[in-house]
């Protein structure tokens, strides 16, 4: 008889089961949970953070941590909205959101590779700098009275799904393809799994880190635009706490926090699981302040799961 080995199941399969169990449990408690409206809310909330979660996944695979994504998200959302207020065409506003994010990510990369400082330290500092800049720039006031063209990006529907959903999940599929087929992403895995070996085979580690931090900034900037376009006003503290959400989605999705391993597919499901949990709290009448606590707990459980799976595999090989 063939034995079923739990450690051989993919993380995506496990997350799918967890998601089904969660939805079933909440529906049992509150019969109004499963609905078209709830599905749309979950997908919309997933879509606006998915690009940033994908970028964060790649940074972690490369063996680094970027804590500035929430601040880049905010800089992009607020400055893009201000450009839209001045009548700048939306096509140029979209390019700006991606471009400003890429520039800020590039600055993180330059400092990281030039001074050989861990990206986590560099981005912790830049997170504070850009968050302070936004508060100074806006004087704490919200951006209001945004034009119809701005809101059209977030409200336009195709087959009853808003445009950000189509854009974000199409981007996810594209990134899955690119990560599997482009050589540069194989280098990202190599740098994250064994830096010395990467150096020995001639991979320019500094170029990979510069590329991946710039890409992460661009994706965080695009996330900021998608999030801001859903509303006619944007708070000055937009994106606060995004770092925890995207790191949680990546780690829960199977990305090794120490680098070298991870899949975009897992991150996509991780994002959906995280937003489903947030929506579930409302239907379970649990205070939303517990949201961060649940996300932190899931990160811890995901790391413990990885450790146990490694031990199981080692035991198998020793046997």
- What's the structural domain count of the chain? 1
Q: Region 26-32: what's the mean pLDDT? A: 91
pTM: 0.91
Say if 154 falls within a structural domain. yes
Say if 270 falls within a structural domain. no
Is a pLDDT exceeding 80 seen at residue 315?
A: no
Neighbour tally for 77: CB within 10 Å: 27
Say if 94 falls within a structural domain. yes
Q: At what angle do helices 163-181 and 36-61 cross, to 10 degrees?
A: 30
Say if 212 falls within a structural domain. yes
pLDDT number for residue 288: 75
Distance separating alpha carbons of residues 19 and 317, to the nearest angstrom: 31
Distance separating alpha carbons of residues 167 and 231, to the nearest angstrom: 17
Say if 314 falls within a structural domain. no
pLDDT number for residue 13: 82
Say if 151 falls within a structural domain. yes
Is a pLDDT exceeding 50 seen at residue 178?
A: yes
Is a pLDDT exceeding 90 seen at residue 85?
A: yes
- 125-166 pLDDT per residue, tens: 999 999 999 999 999 899 998 998 898 888 899 998 999 999
Mean pLDDT in the chain? 89
Q: Which residues pair with 143 in a beta bridge?
A: 234
pLDDT number for residue 316: 52
Q: At what angle do helices 90-115 and 148-155 cross, to 10 degrees?
A: 80
Is a pLDDT exceeding 60 seen at residue 9?
A: no
Expressed as residue numbers, the domain containing 61 is: 48-240
Q: Region 50-67: what's the mean pLDDT? A: 97
Torsion, Cα 162 168 173 177, to 10 degrees, reads: 150
Say if 226 falls within a structural domain. yes
Say if 208 falls within a structural domain. yes
């Amino acid at each position: 008889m063939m034995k079923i080995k739990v450690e051989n199941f993919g993380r995506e399969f496990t997350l799918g089961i967890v998601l089904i169990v969660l939805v079933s449990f909440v529906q049992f408690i509150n019969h109004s949970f499963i609905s078209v409206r709830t599905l749309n809310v979950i997908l919309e909330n997933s879509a606006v953070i998915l690009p940033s979660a994908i970028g964060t996944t790649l940074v972690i695979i490369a063996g680094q941590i970027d804590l500035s994504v929430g601040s880049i998200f905010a800089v992009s959302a607020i400055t893009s909205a201000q450009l839209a207020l001045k009548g700048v065409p939306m096509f140029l506003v979209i390019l700006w959101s991606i471009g400003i994010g890429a520039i800020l990510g590039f600055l993180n990369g330059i400092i990281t590779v030039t001074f050989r400082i861990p990206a986590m330290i560099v981005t912790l500092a830049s997170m504070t700098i850009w968050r302070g800049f936004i508060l100074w720039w806006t004087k704490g006031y919200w951006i209001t009275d945004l034009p119809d063209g701005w809101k059209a990006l977030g409200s336009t529907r195709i087959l009853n799904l808003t445009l950000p959903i189509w854009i974000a999940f199409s981007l996810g599929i594209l990134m899955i393809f690119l990560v599997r087929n482009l050589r540069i992403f194989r280098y990202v895995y190599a740098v994250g799994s064994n830096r010395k070996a990467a150096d020995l085979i001639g991979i320019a580690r500094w170029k990979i880190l510069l590329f991946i931090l710039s890409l992460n900034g661009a994706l965080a900037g695009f996330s900021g635009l998608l999030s801001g376009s859903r509303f006619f006003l944007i708070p000055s503290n937009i994106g606060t706490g995004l770092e925890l959400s995207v790191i949680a989605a990546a780690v829960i999705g199977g990305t090794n926090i120490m680098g070298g391993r991870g899949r975009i597919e897992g991150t996509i499901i991780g994002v959906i699981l995280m937003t489903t949990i947030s929506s579930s709290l409302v239907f379970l009448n649990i205070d939303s302040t517990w949201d961060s606590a649940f996300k932190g707990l899931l990160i811890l459980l995901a790391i413990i799961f990885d450790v146990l799976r490694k031990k199981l595999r080692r035991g198998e090989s020793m046997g």
